[in-house]
């Protein structure tokens, strides 16, 4: 049986093997390719002392050195790296090269980079080593020449130079420093007020023979500050030709790099840069070794990284040393706060950052050219950033001046652009042979491609301002109209994946430096201020809404407007209710006419319902009441109350009628920008502005107006003129634009009105190029114009023009009532006439019908009476013949008796009626009381034969 100790032994061996495999190396070789033996010796001593520094070297770790001299032949240098350094398993290489000569550490970088062995350069400053596609493992403790652009930007900020001309050679370093300068100046624009503009870039091929043509071009530019990157030989040619053209005298400023300062003919007054510790090779050797030791220490402390031994054979080209890649990243992340050369740190490309520079000034002292240090660019530990200090009193500028030059040449003739925008700019096309008047300025189209034969003249608010400005600050100008008729807006173009803003219109011409100034109603806003310079506002304004006044609602029932429909209905109902109550009160009152009518034959007819309605309407309409008035006290009290009610109603109606039809002014349809109909735009409400204008940009910025803007965008116009024309014709309901223009239009045409309060308040300013020398002069002149009252006089002359007072007077004057207002009343009268005629026709037809009916009744009554008479006659005859028969039978024949009977009969019957249907009232009354009719009312025949 195996004992437990024998069973445990294989486990310990396995664990020991794992620990041995995972353990990091304890010995690290560091290679060096140095320029001198002194540097080699210092390199060895530094590494020897490093082993005793516990801060950088953990216990159990030992560093060894392997150093060689750089050979002038780069091939031999590469072979020596393989033979002496890589074969010694070096973990990194520190490389230098002589300050004189063309030796380069490129061979060391290529050879070591193939195996990803980190290489730390201590003297090479060529920009080519920043390309990690070629020099994959190269770092350096010195910055490349292109990093001087960072200090240039700081210098320009300090001296307040806003416009420069950049001169550089067409090699890698020249292009690199230009790119670095442009990038750095753009980054700093967000934090500083000054924005540096490169007016011109002059690129030249190395090996110059003459620079006169380029200098001639530079002399016509405005900028007088020159940034120069050139080698020593090329700098000598440039300085020679510049001196011959007097471009190194007073008024000019030159800022150069270190190489150009090496020319023997450097002019006095030039500023240049010198890298601190640039020639101190030992200081860079020490800093590079300690940075490398810090990186190796951090790698050893990182448990997730297994450090493997470095390659030892250049012939084994198939292997890739992954530890070298990791070590490069650790070195790049190191920061040495108290290095011999200052703070040591690296950027993403492995280039040194936070390097310190001295600002030197070339001066002639005792007939000797000297480099005098006048400033420093250093790392401030307190603020943890790079800072620049300049002692300006020590500087001698070109021309032996002690005062800083302005840095630009002020041109006295300016290219001024404008745009047609009433009342600020009126444009008139000239006929053939016609010229501009004294009030006008000649203004052709700027860079026009069509309509070349047409000429124009301009006048207006801005033209008077331009004339006064030119007199005030002493410049001449040539005026031109906008080429596309627009103020301009930006469009974003993607060039190589980078969005770049490009401007059109007036702004685009100014940004591209094709013009010097814009004198127009140009609104100041952040988008434009980012690319051009603005003066102080010459007129303050805002945004408002223009619309056409709504027409009066003069309908046929306009006279009913003083009262609401409900009130009219209540009045109508009240008339008839009061009439009914009056009738009832007078009907049932003991003192009413109904009770008195039977006793007093002289009284008028009693108050019936028709008379009561007539009375109520008569009182309400204030007409005379001739008959049918109430008699009872109760009814008359109600009549007095009704009269008071009628007085109040009529007075209220009269007052409101004056308000509605005489003094009424139509209100605007919109209440302002916050009107719900604009915020939630309806199909029947169209609003618009001008494409690409400042108002358009304002709506783009306002998130709360995004819904409204999306609807507006489809309706936007190219010019304000077209939009205002459509507002007048009613095609466009609301035009949103600058308040100054819209107030002018409303003053010209009283049918137009601005709606709501101003919003988006801003001002009109003079536009100039970025860094224009005229900016301050124009601003001071405009402020002076405001104080002197000149701007107010321009307002009165061009904008107000007295028309606002006319519109206000028109608003305050009562309107004359016309047919439209009172047409309903006339129609009501016409309807009354037509109604009366219609009623009388009806009455006549009804009366005719009644007469026919009455005639039929009379005929029937006549026939009945005739029949009754015949019956009565027969009875009478029978009665009369009866006595005769008795007489005859008795033998009596007395004529007197017969005569008496006939006379009595005649007296009872009475006279005959004149109309068959007529009857005597007294006769009817006798019939009513029961009197017996003795015979017919007329004799049916002659009764004379009855007389014997």
Read off the pTM. 0.58
More confident position, 768 or 526: 768
Q: Which helix (H) or strand (E) holds 696?
A: helix 694-701
Q: Bridge-partner residues for 198, per DSSP?
A: 164
368 — pLDDT class (breaks 50, 70, 90): confident
Residue 255 main-chain phi, psi, to 5 deg: -130, 125
Q: Which helix (H) or strand (E) holds 738?
A: strand 734-738
Q: What percent of the chain has pLDDT over 90?
A: 36
DSSP for 583-634, written as a single string: HHHHHHSTTSHHHHTTT-TTSPPP--HHHHHHHHHHHHTT----S----SHH
* Rounded distance between C-alpha atoms, residue 156 and residue 254, angstroms: 11
* Rounded distance between C-alpha atoms, residue 899 and residue 902, angstroms: 5
* Rounded distance between C-alpha atoms, residue 462 and residue 539, angstroms: 11
Neighbours of 477 (CB within 10 A): 18
623 — pLDDT class (breaks 50, 70, 90): low
Q: Bridge-partner residues for 93, per DSSP?
A: 31, 119
* Rounded distance between C-alpha atoms, residue 282 and residue 291, angstroms: 14
161-207 residue pLDDT tens: 988 999 999 999 999 999 999 988 877 544 445 578 888 999 999 99
DSSP label at 460? S
When pLDDT is averaged across residues 661-689 and rounded to a whole number, the result is: 69
Q: Is the pLDDT of residue 7 over 70?
A: no
* Rounded distance between C-alpha atoms, residue 181 and residue 459, angstroms: 44
* Rounded distance between C-alpha atoms, residue 607 and residue 587, angstroms: 7
- Report helix, strand or coil for 434: coil
Q: Identify the weakest region by mean pLDDT among 182-196, 239-253, 369-383, 457-471.
A: 182-196
Residue 206 main-chain phi, psi, to 5 deg: -65, 150
812-839 residue pLDDT tens: 555 555 555 556 556 655 676 677 677 7
Q: Is the pLDDT of residue 660 over 80?
A: no
Neighbours of 403 (CB within 10 A): 9
* Rounded distance between C-alpha atoms, residue 131 and residue 808, angstroms: 75
885: left (phi over 0), alpha (psi -120 to 50) or beta: alpha
What per-residue confidence (pLDDT) applies to 630? 77
* Rounded distance between C-alpha atoms, residue 538 and residue 513, angstroms: 23
Q: Is the pLDDT of residue 279 over 50?
A: yes
243-269 residue pLDDT tens: 999 999 999 999 999 999 999 999 999
Q: Which residues of 669-689 are buried (b: 16+ CB within 10 A; e: fewer)?
A: bbeebebeebeebeeeebbbb
Q: Identify the weakest region by mean pLDDT among 605-614, 774-783, 784-793.
A: 605-614
Q: Which residues are annotated as a binding site?
A: 521, 523, 528, 694, 738
Give the CA angle between residues 64, 67, 72 to the nearest 5°. 165
CB 460 within 8 A of CB 798: yes
What per-residue confidence (pLDDT) applies to 594? 55
When pLDDT is averaged across residues 428-442 and rounded to a whole number, the result is: 89
CB 121 within 8 A of CB 140: yes
What per-residue confidence (pLDDT) applies to 418? 93
54-74 residue pLDDT tens: 889 988 899 999 999 988 888
Q: Identify the weakest region by mean pLDDT among 240-249, 508-517, 523-532, 555-564.
A: 555-564
DSSP label at 129? G
What per-residue confidence (pLDDT) applies to 928? 42
What per-residue confidence (pLDDT) applies to 927? 41
More confident position, 880 or 535: 535
* Rounded distance between C-alpha atoms, residue 790 and residue 74, angstroms: 77
Average pLDDT, the chain: 81
CB 666 within 8 A of CB 750: no
Q: Identify the weakest region by mean pLDDT among 436-450, 558-572, 843-857, 901-915.
A: 901-915
306-340 residue pLDDT tens: 889 888 888 766 677 889 999 999 999 999 999 99
When pLDDT is averaged across residues 216-242 and rounded to a whole number, the result is: 92
For the chain, what is the total number of helices (H) and then of strands (E)?
28, 29
Strand-pair category, 163-169 with 90-95: unpaired
When pLDDT is averaged across residues 272-296 and rounded to a whole number, the result is: 93
Residue 823 main-chain phi, psi, to 5 deg: -60, -35
Q: Which tokens hold the place of 239?
A: 């300085």
Q: What percent of the chain has pLDDT over 70?
A: 79
Strand intervals (E) in 141-221: 163-169, 197-204
Neighbours of 363 (CB within 10 A): 18
754 — pLDDT class (breaks 50, 70, 90): confident
What per-residue confidence (pLDDT) applies to 297? 93
447: left (phi over 0), alpha (psi -120 to 50) or beta: left
Strand-pair category, 413-418 with 476-481: parallel
500 — pLDDT class (breaks 50, 70, 90): low
What per-residue confidence (pLDDT) applies to 826? 60
Neighbours of 947 (CB within 10 A): 9
482 — pLDDT class (breaks 50, 70, 90): confident
More confident position, 733 or 389: 389
877-922 residue pLDDT tens: 888 877 766 666 555 455 544 444 444 444 444 444 434 444 443 3
Q: Is the pLDDT of residue 396 over 90?
A: yes
Instruction: Show the DSSP H helices in 311-429 as ranges.
Output: 322-332
519 — pLDDT class (breaks 50, 70, 90): very high
Q: Report long-range pairs for 932-937 (Cβ below 8 Å, ≥24 apart).
A: 934/905, 934/908, 934/909, 935/872, 935/876, 935/905, 935/908, 935/909, 936/868, 936/869, 936/872, 936/873, 936/876, 936/909, 937/865, 937/869, 937/909, 937/910, 937/912, 937/913
* Rounded distance between C-alpha atoms, residue 459 and residue 258, angstroms: 55
Contacts of 670 by beta carbon, 8 Å cutoff, 6+ apart: 545, 547, 677, 678, 734, 755, 756
* Rounded distance between C-alpha atoms, residue 551 and residue 820, angstroms: 12
Which of 363, 354, 359 lies closest to 390, judged by CA?
Answer: 359
DSSP for 679-691, written as a single string: HTT-TT--EE-BT
What per-residue confidence (pLDDT) applies to 807? 62
CB 197 within 8 A of CB 770: yes
DSSP label at 747? H
Helical axes 322-332 vs 281-301, angle rounded to 10°: 120
What per-residue confidence (pLDDT) applies to 371? 92
Which of 253, 268, 282 lies closest to 42, judged by CA?
Answer: 282
Give the CA angle between residues 668, 669, 673 to the nearest 5°. 95
What per-residue confidence (pLDDT) applies to 662? 56
Contacts of 484 by beta carbon, 8 Å cutoff, 6+ apart: 504, 505
What's the number of CA atoms in the CB half-sphere (13 Å) around residue 714?
7
779 — pLDDT class (breaks 50, 70, 90): very high
DSSP for 477-536, written as a single string: EEEEE-SSSS---EEEEEETTEEEEEE-HHHHHHHTTS-SEEEEEEE--HHHHTTSEE-S
Q: Bridge-partner residues for 31, per DSSP?
A: 66, 93
Q: Which residues are annotated as a binding site for L-glutamate?
A: 521, 523, 528, 694, 738
CB 678 within 8 A of CB 685: yes
What are the respective helix, strand and coil percentages of the chain, to the nearest 5?
A: 45, 20, 35
As a whole number of Å, the end-to-end CA separation of the chain is 202
């Amino acid at each position: 049986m195996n004992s437990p100790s024998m069973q445990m032994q294989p486990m310990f061996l396995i664990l020991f093997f794992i620990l041995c495999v995972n353990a990091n190396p304890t010995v690290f070789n560091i290679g060096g390719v140095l320029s001198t033996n002194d540097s080699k010796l210092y390199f060895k001593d530094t590494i020897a002392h490093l082993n005793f520094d516990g801060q950088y070297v953990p216990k159990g770790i030992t560093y060894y050195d392997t150093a060689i001299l750089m050979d002038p032949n780069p091939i031999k240098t590469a072979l020596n790296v393989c033979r002496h350094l890589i074969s010694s398993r070096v973990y990194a290489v520190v490389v230098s090269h002589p300050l004189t000569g063309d030796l380069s550490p490129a061979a060391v970088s290529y050879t070591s980079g193939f195996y990803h062995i980190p290489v730390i350069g201590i003297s090479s400053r060529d920009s080519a080593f920043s390309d990690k596609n070629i020099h994959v493992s190269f770092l350096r403790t010195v910055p490349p020449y292109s990093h001087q652009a960072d200090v240039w930007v700081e210098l320009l900020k300090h001296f307040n130079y806003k416009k420069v001309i950049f001169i550089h050679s067409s090699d890698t370093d020249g292009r690199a420093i230009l790119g670095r300068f442009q990038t750095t100046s753009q980054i700093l624009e967000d934090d500083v007020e000054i924005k540096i503009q490169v007016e011109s870039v002059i690129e030249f091929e190395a090996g110059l023979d003459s620079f006169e043509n380029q200098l001639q071009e530079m002399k016509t530019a405005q900028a007088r500050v020159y940034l120069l990157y050139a080698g020593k030989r090329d700098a000598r040619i440039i300085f020679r030709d510049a001196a011959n053209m007097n471009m190194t005298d007073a008024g000019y400023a030159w800022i150069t790099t270190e190489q150009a300062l090496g020319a023997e003919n450097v002019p006095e007054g030039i500023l240049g840069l010198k890298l601190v510790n640039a020639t101190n090779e030992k200081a860079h050797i020490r800093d590079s070794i300690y940075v490398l030791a810090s990186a190796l220490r951090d790698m050893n402390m990182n448990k997730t990284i297994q450090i493997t031994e470095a390659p030892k054979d250049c012939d084994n080209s198939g292997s890739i040393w992954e530890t070298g890649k990791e070590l490069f990243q650790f070195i790049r992340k190191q920061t040495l706060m108290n290095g011999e050369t200052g703070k040591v740190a690296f950027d993403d490309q492995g280039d040194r950052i936070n390097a310190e520079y001295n600002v030197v000034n070339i001066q002639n002292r005792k007939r000797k050219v000297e480099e005098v240090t006048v400033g420093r660019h250093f790392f401030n530990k307190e603020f943890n950033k790079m800072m620049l200090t300049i002692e300006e009193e020590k500087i001698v500028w070109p021309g032996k001046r002690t005062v800083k030059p302005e840095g630009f040449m002020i041109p006295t003739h300016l290219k001024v652009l404008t745009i047609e925008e009433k009342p600020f700019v009126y444009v008139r096309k000239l006929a053939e042979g016609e010229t501009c008047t004294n009030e006008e300025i000649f203004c052709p189209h700027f860079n026009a491609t069509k309509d070349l034969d047409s000429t124009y003249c301009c006048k207006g608010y801005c033209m008077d301002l331009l004339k006064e400005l030119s007199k005030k600050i002493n410049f001449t100008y040539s005026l031109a109209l906008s080429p596309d008729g627009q103020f301009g807006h930006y469009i974003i173009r993607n060039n190589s994946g980078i969005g770049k803003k490009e401007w059109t219109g007036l702004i685009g011409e100014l940004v591209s430096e094709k013009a010097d100034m814009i004198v127009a109603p140009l609104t100041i806003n952040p988008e434009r201020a980012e690319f051009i310079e603005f003066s102080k506002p010459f007129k303050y304004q805002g945004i408002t809404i223009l619309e056409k006044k709504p027409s009066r609602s003069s309908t046929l029932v306009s006279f009913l407007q003083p009262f609401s429909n409900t009130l009219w209905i209540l009045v109508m109902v009240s008339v008839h209710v009061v009439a009914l109550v009056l009738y009832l009160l007078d009907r049932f009152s003991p003192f009413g006419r109904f009770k008195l009518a039977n006793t007093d034959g002289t009284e008028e007819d009693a108050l019936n319902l028709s008379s009561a309605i007539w009375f109520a309407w008569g009182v309400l309409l204030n007409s005379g009441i001739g008959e049918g008035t109430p008699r009872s006290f109760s009814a008359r009290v109600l009549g007095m109350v009704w009269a008071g009610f009628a007085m109040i109603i009529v007075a209220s109606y009269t007052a409101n009628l004056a308000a509605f039809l005489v003094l009424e002014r139509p209100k605007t349809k919109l209440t302002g920008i916050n009107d719900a109909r604009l915020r939630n735009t309806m199909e029947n409400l169209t609003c618009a502005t001008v494409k690409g204008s400042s108002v358009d940009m304002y709506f783009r910025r306002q998130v709360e107006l995004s819904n409204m803007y999306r609807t507006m965008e489809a309706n936007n116009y190219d010019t304000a003129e077209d939009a205002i024309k459509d507002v007048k014709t009613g095609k466009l309901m609301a035009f949103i634009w600058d308040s100054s223009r819209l107030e002018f239009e409303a003053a010209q045409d009283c049918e137009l009105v601005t709606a709501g309060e101003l919003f988006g308040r801003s001002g009109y300013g003079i536009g100039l190029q970025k860094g224009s020398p005229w900016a301050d002069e124009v601003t001071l002149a405009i402020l002076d114009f405001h104080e002197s009252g000149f701007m107010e006089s321009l307002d009165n002359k061009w904008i107000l023009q007295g028309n606002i007072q006319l519109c206000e007077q028109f608003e305050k004057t009562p309107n004359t009532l016309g047919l439209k207002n009172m047409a309903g009343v006339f129609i009501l009268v016409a309807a009354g006439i037509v109604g009366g005629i219609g009623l009388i026709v009806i009455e006549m037809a009804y009366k005719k019908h009644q007469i026919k009916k009455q005639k039929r009744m009379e005929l029937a009554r006549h026939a009945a009476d005739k029949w009754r008479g015949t019956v009565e006659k027969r009875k009478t005859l029978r009665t009369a013949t009866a006595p005769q028969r008795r007489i005859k039978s008795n033998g009596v024949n007395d004529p007197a008796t017969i005569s008496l009977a006939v006379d009595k009969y005649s007296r009872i019957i009475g006279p005959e009626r004149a109309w068959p249907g007529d009857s005597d009232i007294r006769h009817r009354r006798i019939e009513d009381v029961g009197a017996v009719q003795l015979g017919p009312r007329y004799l049916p025949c002659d009764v004379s034969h009855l007389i014997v």
